[in-house]
Structure 1
């Protein structure tokens, strides 16, 4: 409810008052109130009801607390993904060791991450890394061989994106909804209206279609 949202916002922005550039706790409280007003104004279903979305919105909002929230869930995710990526170093360690022929996996990393999410959702049960490796070695535009060095650098590119994290010897999305957003970008480019409706009618892919 509104009271819970207001308390969450107050706690969030007063705790992070230095991050958002507030000169005092009072100003942080004013920013929190403005955030609540922006959430109520936003034409985004469930934004105020889903804790994850509300947290993402707060993270995005604190980058520009006197601006407006993104108008849609898709643009909210877009700004959040860009923010995650911007927090990484300019290049992952060892990427300069890639051959000129394989350097494209870094240069075209955004498309690679999006297509990895798409293949991970709609493929045959591959892991994140397997999906990415299949895209890289199966590329029609590049001749990229599966080598230990390539695997190591590819893993670095994936984790460097900010949307994939290493867990033990595996890779995981920071959150399933982020992967859905990334896959939706590919779906929006590939799907015909009829195909989009087919995805929208399936419970397991409805969120992806909604974001596309």
Structure 2
């Protein structure tokens, strides 16, 4: 399978915004009537987390983590049509667009997103994280390795143990933001009449073997 460059690590960060956020991140997916889906992402970092993240990524302190033109280019490269992106601040981002064809999208090929005639699902777990990891190039993998996600280091641990691991490397404030934040997932049927909306703590998300959200319509 084709290896994706460091740019795709940014897409990973947007989709798995739970890696670094302190505010309430959200992933929303609305199924289309054909082989498509509308997707939106919203996330943001605290100033302290942004500072740590810039250090890990080798960015200058004054450099923005996200650039609108880069995000739009990345979304297009990932198969997202008509992408839109807004950066309310240097540490916040919201983006949306249409995935079409759905079945050929990188997030679908790795099992993160799936869709049938009457269902839509989003799955985040060990196999999905490993599948996405495998399509990254070595540079992108090296950045992701810094987060020591249990699935990638091959260890089972509780959310508390994962927090302790991160705290030992990057300090308690950074660890608390990652494991203490919450991710909201929203799924909608093509006509919008049926929806599923759930929230999970990030510490729980990254220490469970698999978390799956499914909407049937």
TM-score under structure 1 length normalisation? 0.30
Comparing both structures, which one devotes a greater share of its residues to helix?
A: 1
User: Highest CA radius of gyration, 1 or 2?
Assistant: 1
Question: Larger strand proportion, structure 1 or 2?
Answer: 2
TM-score by length of 2: 0.30
